[in-house]
A and B are shown apart, each in its own frame.
Chain A
Amino acid sequence: MRKNWIGIPALMILLLLPALSVARGDDEILTPVAEEQLAEPDPGLDVSGTVTVQDKDNDAGDLLLVSFELPADTEGIFAYNVYRRVAGEEGEGSWNLVEIIPADGLSEFIDGYDPEYPIASGVLYEYRIASATVDGEEFFGPECEAGVVSKGEIYHTGKTKIFIASILFIGLIFYYFGKAQKGIEMYMRPIAGIEAIDEAIGRATEMGKPVLYVPGISSIADVATIASLTILGRVAKKIALYQTPLIVPNRDPIVFTVAEEVVKQAYLEAGRPDAYDPDSVFFVTTSQFAYVAAVNGIMMREKPATNFYLGMFYAESLLLAETGSLSGAIQIAGTDAVTQLPFFITTCDYTLIGEELYAASAYLGREPKQIGALKGQDACKAIIMTFITVALIFGVIDVVANTHILDWFRDLVTSPIVD
């Protein structure tokens, strides 16, 4: 090994010798190199032609559609470097490299996605394209003024179907919402996991042990987290009435703030603000597995009689639920994370699957507004089922009668939905 290390400097000295000769002006070495350069001068690369710029539809005035004529001879071109500057600016330093397009036949792109070089609405730009070699050498095409400026649109025409579906679904929810407020009785089928919540809190009270409530590890922007915090309010109210200790560890600082408010409010509504313990809701850390380590430690030290895992969970779901199972607690979980539900199902006593989590707060609160919203959601599901059934029938007709009704129906319902 040591011999190799000695060999490397020796090799470097050998390689440096010709260079030293060149530096000394040794003609014997310089001459053939100079002749070779003269014999084969660098031919350069062909450059792209005119650049055409169009304003992109359905944007906020921050995107331009840029296309350019590809060079006639693309040999040796590795990529096209697209430069942009504000029209009227001078000097080489005013150009910004906004896009590198691999030389595979593509000659257009949407400019404005790079947050470093945003497109300003109403500003006129100039473009130039450079044909670049694999070594990064550039050969510039003509400078072209954009001709158009970017303008924003108020309405995104590609999202009409989303708009219609949203109006329909919101309308249905408000319709049933109104019906429920008028006092019309609405049926809700029993869900075992939700009915077990009272039983689980009662068990903790009887055993004189705390209830652990994990509101997931996602942010407040997640629907599952919001559903979980609503359920936390109901659970905390019952806990306040029973005077059972509550532990709510949080991973997200904003969720922690909201959870604290929710629990405080629940104790107030239960008429026991004095029983509220400010240390019962606390922030742990934002790190996923550090949070898991902390909650697992709490489970094994405090030995809660009941564990709730309601909200959005990721890879930590099994670690939490398995430890809870070892500690001997009754466990109720609920999430809409499809990949984590199997772990909860195998390790928890009750699991709220997907939408059952959203429905739980309506079940626990029995408020007309929430029951109405639940009924509205059912109506939305009925519409989706109707569309799928009609598509199924049209699919059968297509097979039997060799028609194309399904394509027409599919386009009618879902297209165009533009990103």
Chain B
Amino acid sequence: MYETIGIWVGAIFTLAIYSFLYKENSIYRLAEHLVVGISAGYGMAITYQITIKPRLVDPLLSGDHWILLIPGILGLLYITRFIPRISWMSRYPIGFYMGTAMGVGFPLTMKARVLRQLEGAMVPLYQSGMAWYEVTGNVVMILGTLAALIYFFFSKPHKGLFFGTGSKIGIWVIMVGFGATFGFTVMGRISLLIGRIQYLLGDWLHVIE
């Protein structure tokens, strides 16, 4: 019984959202406001259940982890935004969070996005037993990386043989890469659409098995 109601609600709201393809209308607006309201409320409950309760409230009530009072108080400072006279205090948790995130993120980014990428670009052009297409692939990869890096030089005009031609090749390499990514992602989106149509025609209308 509940499953059937769930399928009907899901199908009706799917069609309500799809009605946007025709134009913005009151049915879409109803679905939009419901999904926004429900998700906001649900998100709050989930945050309490999976973060605040097990990681702050329960350990504090057990009486062993008084150190958690510090992040707890920092978090509560956000609420000072509702009191204009002391709303400046909400900047402390924001500053702390941003600073920590940047501090923790910097070495990770340096490793994953600089040194690991550099390591990946320093490959041998040819080794015994390598097929011709692998060699070509290595050459294209190295030259393409260099050209793309030239494109992202901001302090030099894109003129002349090195910066001019290099940046032109660079943008071509970037666009070819984007084309491949586009095709790959569109395939994923089509499979999502197929899934939704299967839900409507199969689970709801039982037109297909």
Given contacts A159-B107, A254-B97, A413-B118, are A188 and B155 in contact (CB under 8 A)? yes
Cβ contact within 8 Å between B153 and A381:
yes
Which single member of B37, B39, B158, B182 contacts A286 (CB below 8 Å)?
Answer: B39
When the two chains form the complex, which single residue of A189, A261, A285, A385 contacts B154, counting CB atoms closer than 8 Å? A189
The answer on a CB contact under 8 Å between B32 and A381 is no
Are B119 and A410 within 8 A (Cβ)?
yes
Check A241 for interface membership: any CB of B closer than 8 A.
no
Contact digits for B13-25, partner A, Cβ 8 Å, 1 yes 0 no? 0000100100110
Q: B174: which A residues are within 8 A, CB to CB?
A: 353
> Does A257 lie within 8 Å of B181, measured CB to CB?
no
Q: Which of A106-114, A209-217, A304-312, A387-395 participates in binding chain B?
A: A387-395
List the B side residues contacting A165 at CB < 8 Å: 110, 114-115
Residue of B nearest to A351 (CB): B178
Q: A257-B78, A258-B94, A388-B121 are in contact. Are A161 and B115 (CB under 8 A)?
A: yes
Interface size on B, residues (CB 8 A): 63
From A300, A374, A409, residue with most partner B Cβ within 10 Å: A300
Task: From the candidates B98, B125, B182, name the one contacting A343 in the complex (CB within 8 A).
Answer: B182
Q: Are A220 and B97 in contact (CB under 8 A)?
A: yes
Q: Quick check: A287 and B97 within 8 Å, CB to CB?
A: no
Residues of A within 8 A of B78 (CB): 257
How far does the Cβ of A273 sit from chain B's closest Cβ, in whole Å? 14
B49 interface contact, C-beta 8 A: no
**A residues 340-357 touching B (CB-CB < 8 Å):** 341-343, 345-346, 353-356
Q: Which residues of B contact A5 (CB under 8 A)?
A: none
Contact flag A345-B43 (CB < 8 Å), given A294-B36, A297-B29: no
With a cutoff of 8 Å between Cβ atoms, the chain B residues found around residue A174 in the complex are: none
Q: Chain A: which residue is nearest B40 at the CB level? A: A285
In this complex, how many residues of chain A approach chain B with their Cβ under 8 Å: the count is 71
> Is B156 close to A, CB under 8 A?
yes
B198 at the interface (CB under 8 A from A): no
Q: Which residues of B in the span 142-188 have a Cβ within 8 Å of any Cβ on A?
A: 142, 145-146, 149-150, 152-158, 174-175, 177-179, 181-182, 185
Q: Report A-chain residues with C-beta under 8 Å of the C-beta of B182.
A: 342-343, 346
B105 close to A (CB within 8 Å): yes
Q: Is A30 an interface residue (CB 8 A)?
A: no
Which chain B residues border A395 with CB–CB below 8 Å?
123-126
1/0 per position for B59-99, CB-CB distance to A under 8 A?
A: 00000000000000000001001000000001100100110
Q: Is A221 an interface residue (CB 8 A)?
A: yes
The CA-CA distance from A311 to B126 in the complex, in Å, is: 40
CA distance A302 to B99 in the complex (A): 36
A interface SS class: helix
Assess the B178–A409 pair: CB atoms within 8 A. Answer: no
Contacts of A329 in B (CB 8 A): none
Task: Tell me the nearest residue of chain A to B106, going by C-beta.
Answer: A166
Residues of B within 8 A of A169 (CB): 110, 114
Q: Judge whether A378 and B155 touch: CB under 8 Å.
A: yes
Is the CB–CB distance between B39 and A162 below 8 Å? no
Given the complex, which residues of B lie within 8 Å of A338, measured CB to CB?
177-178, 181
For B106, the chain A residues whose CB sits under 8 A away are: 166
- Supply 21 A–B pairs (Cβ within 8 Å), ascending by A: A161-B115, A165-B115, A189-B154, A221-B102, A221-B105, A223-B105, A258-B94, A284-B36, A285-B39, A286-B43, A297-B24, A339-B185, A378-B153, A381-B149, A384-B149, A387-B122, A388-B121, A388-B145, A399-B124, A413-B118, A417-B116
Apart from A162-B110, A414-B115, what are 7 other A-B pairs with CB-CB below 8 Å? A189-B156, A254-B97, A286-B40, A294-B32, A356-B152, A388-B142, A388-B146
Q: Which 8 A-B pairs have the closest CB atoms?
A: A221-B101, A287-B39, A300-B24, A342-B182, A391-B122, A290-B39, A342-B178, A414-B119
Chain B positions within 8 Å of A, measured between CB atoms, are 17, 20, 23-24, 28-29, 31-32, 35-40, 42-43, 78, 81, 90-91, 94, 97-98, 101-102, 105-107, 109-111, 114-116, 118-119, 121-126, 142, 145-146, 149-150, 152-158, 174-175, 177-179, 181-182, 185, 189
